[in-house]
Structure 1
Amino acid sequence: MERVVAIILIICLNSCQKDEYFGPVYPSNSDEVSITPGNLIYIGCEGNFQFNNASLSVFNLEDETIQNDIYKRTNNKQLGDVLQSIIHHGDSLFLVINNSGLIRILNDSTFEELAIIEGFNSPRHMLMLNDKKALVSDFGGGALSVVDLVSNSITNQIQAPEWTERMVLIDDMIYISNMKDSSILIIDALSFEKIDEIQLSIEPSYLFSLDHKLVIAGNAKKGAKLISFVKSGALETLAEFNNRISGSALYDSVGYFLLNNTVKMINLRSQNEGQFSHTAQTPYSLYVDESGIYISDVIDYLSRGKVLRYDASSQLIQELETGLIPQVILR
C-alpha cells in the first residue's frame, strides 16, 4: 500500500516523568479477551494485501499490557483485507478496511461489532463532519462518499480525483489530499461544492490543522517538505528534509517527522527544533500524545510487527509486539 508519508522540545514536555526501559511487552496467548478499563491505545495492523489478515491490537496504559487480534477474538471472524485507518468518535471505533471496501463500527471498550458500512470502492480515510455525517476518501473510484451515521449508509457520492487520502476540516472548508496530482482539493463542508485546488511540490500525505491554518507534510522527488497554507492562497515552506519521511504527527504545536533512523521535531510556533535516534528496523508510522511517542516497526512485512514507545525525553520505554504491519495508532 502507499507509504509516502519528530527531541520533543524538552523544555515543553519535561514535566513527564522518565520511565526505565524494561524490555519488550508480549501479548497474552489466551483466546479470552479481557481488557481492563482504562486509557487505551488502539493499534491497527494492515495485514498483507489479499490475505484477509488485518487485525486490531489494544495497549492498556493503566496496566501496560497489550492484546492482539481483538476483533477476531471478540467477534469470531476475520477483520478483513488491509486495515487502512481508524477514527475514534464518541464511544465507537470506525475501522476503514481498504481492500474489503467497507467500514466496521466497534464499541471502543468491548470491541463488539455494532454495524458495517458497505458499498465503497477502496476506502482510505474518514472525516467526521458532525455526529450525523462523515466523508470517506477513496483510491481508484474517482469519488468521495458522504456517509449517514444514523443509518450507517452511503447517501451521496462527490466527484473527486482518482486517489484521495487524508482530510481535515477548517472553518467550514474541507481540505483533501489529491495524491495523484500532488494537490489539495478544497470543498465547502455544507454544499460539498469545489472551492479551489492548490498545486504543490510534494505528495500531500499528512494534513494537520494549526491556528486555523492547514499544515501539509509530504515527500518530494528528493527529500520531504513541511508547508503551510492560508485561505488567501499563500503557501509557505516551513521546513525541508534531505530524506523522505515515513510518518508525521502534530501534537501541542510540535511537528514530528519519522525518518529511517531519527525522529525530527519542529515547534511550529517558536520554530525550535530537535531530534532523537530510534531503533525501528523498518519504521512505518508515528503517533504522539501525552503518553509518549509511538513508532511502528513492520520488520520485514511478513513477521509480527512492533510498536516502540518513547517517553518525553526520547528514552525507549517499551517494545510492544503487535499483528502484521502495524500502521495506524491512536487514542
Structure 2
Amino acid sequence: MNDNAWIDAHRQGQSDQVLSGSGVFIVNEGNFMSGNATLSFYDITTGETTNNLFYRTNALPLGDVAQSMSILDSLGYIAINNSGKIYIINTATGKYSGKITGLTSPRYIHFVSQEKAYVTDLYASAITIFNPVTFQITGSISTPGHASTEQMVQIGSTLYVTCWSSDNTILKIDTGTDAVTGEIKVGKQPKSMVKDKNNQLWVLCDGNYGSTTSGGQAELQQANPETGQIEKSFALNSDNIASDLSINATRDTLYFINNDVWQMPVTASQLPATPVLKNPGTIYYGLGVDPENSDIYVSDAIDYLQQGLVYRLTAKGIPVDTMKTGIIPGSFCFRQ
C-alpha cells in the first residue's frame, strides 16, 4: 500500500487541525533503525506543543531518523535520513502533500528558486536536485572525493556546501549551471555553517569528534567567501562535540553548542569567557535561533530513549518556556 492509500484508509473521520500563528516545528530524530521519528509543533503565542503531529494528522509514521525541515511558501519539506525520502506537508495543518523518494540519505534542503531545490546527502557523494512544485528529482551534482555533504548557504548565485565525514572542505557551486566551481579548505569535519551581516561565512568544525580514527581540533572559523581565506579561527573544547552553529535575526551574533551553549558577536577577537546557557550535566543536542526575535531554542536529548525537552530562552539567555517533545529533538524549523 502506498502512502496516499494508507492515509486515505486511516484518516476517515479525522478533521484537519489548524496550526495557527507563528510557531516552531521541532524535528525529532527518533532512534536509528526504530522508525520512531516524529514531528512536534510549538505555538509561540499560546505556548502549546502538539507532539506526534505527522502521525496524528496522517495516520502515517514519519520514518527512520528525521534529520531536518525546510519551508517554501505553505509547504514544509522533511528530510527522513535513514528512510531515504522527503515528506512534504501543509504547514498550516500538518497534512501530507506528497513525497520525494529515490534518495540515499538526505540531510538538508536548500531552495534556489520556486522550481529548484538542492538536498545534501550523507552517503551519496552527490547533491540531488529536485523540483519543489512537482516533487520530482531533476538531476544531481556529483561531488567525487567528498563522501558526505551537509549544510548549505547561498551568497549571490554561489552556494557553499560543507563536506563533513573526515573532510575539511566547503564546496562552491554555481546555482545557475549546477557546476562545482571551487572549494575552500577549513578545519576538520565542517558541519554547520551560517553567513553573517557582512556576507562572511562562519563554519563550525567538530574536529572528527566521535570517530574511531585520529581526531582533530574542533574549531569555529570565519572564512572569506571571495578569497577563500580563513580570517579568524577559534579552538574549541574537543572533548565535547561542537555543533549547531546558528545566528541571530540581525546576523551579528553567533550561537553554538560545545557542551554548554555559547553566544559570540561576529566582531569578537576571542571566545566568550562564560556560556549563555550552562550545561547542568545533560545532553544539549540541538540549537535554533528564531529569525524574527532571536529567541534561543535548545533541545535536550536526556538519554536518547525517552521524550526529549526543548528550552526556550530570550536572546540574552533568560528562560521563557520548557516543552516536552519526541525522542531526540534534533532540529528546528521556524514558521513565521
- TM above 0.5, yes or no, is yes
Q: 1:235 aligns with which of 230, 236, 258?
A: 230
Structure 1 outlier segments of 4+, above 4 Å: 31-36, 270-274
Relative distance call for 1:310 and 1:279 in structure 2 (3 A) is farther
Structure 2 distance, partners of 1:235, 1:207, is 14
Relative distance call for 1:49 and 1:32 in structure 2 (3 A) is farther
Give the corresponding residue for 1:205.
Answer: 191
Q: Residue 33 of structure 1: CA displacement?
A: 7.2
Secondary structure class of the residue paired with 1:294: strand
Deviation digits for residues 75-114 of structure 1 (CA, Å, limit 9, x no counterpart): 0110111101100111111000111111111011101011
Give the corresponding residue for 1:219.
Answer: 206
Structure 2 distance, partners of 1:230, 1:247, is 20
Relative distance call for 1:163 and 1:319 in structure 2 (3 A) is same
Structure 1 distance, partners of 2:318, 2:16, is 31
- Amino acid in structure 2 at the alignment position of 1:330: C
Coordinate RMSD, CA, aligned: 1.9
- Residue 246 in 1 paired to residue 232 in 2? no
| Percent identity (aligned) | 29
Give the corresponding residue for 1:287.
Answer: 288
Give the corresponding residue for 2:51.
Answer: 68
Bigger relative CO (Cα 8 Å, ≥ 6 apart): 1
Secondary structure class of the residue paired with 1:300: coil
Deviation digits for residues 22-70 of structure 1 (CA, Å, limit 9, x no counterpart): xxxxxxxxx9875551111110000111111110001111111111000
Give the corresponding residue for 1:308.
Answer: 311
Contact 2:187 2:219 in 1 (8 A): no
Give the corresponding residue for 2:266.
Answer: 268
TM-score by length of 2: 0.84
Structure 1 distance, partners of 2:112, 2:148, is 20
Deviation digits for residues 252-285 of structure 1 (CA, Å, limit 9, x no counterpart): 210012122x322111146595632335610111
Structure 2 distance, partners of 1:188, 1:119, is 24
Contact 1:171 1:212 in 2 (8 A): no
Contact 2:202 2:220 in 1 (8 A): no
Structure 1: tracts of 5 or more residues without a match? 1-30
Of 237-246 and 249-258, more deviation after overlay is shown by 237-246
Contact 2:74 2:90 in 1 (8 A): yes
Structure 2: tracts of 5 or more residues without a match? 1-13, 208-215
TM-score by length of 1: 0.85
Q: Residue 213 of structure 1: CA displacement?
A: 2.3
Q: Residue 309 of structure 1: CA displacement?
A: 1.2
Structure 2 distance, partners of 1:257, 1:264, is 5
Contact 1:217 1:227 in 2 (8 A): no
Aligned length: 300
Secondary structure class of the residue paired with 2:113: coil
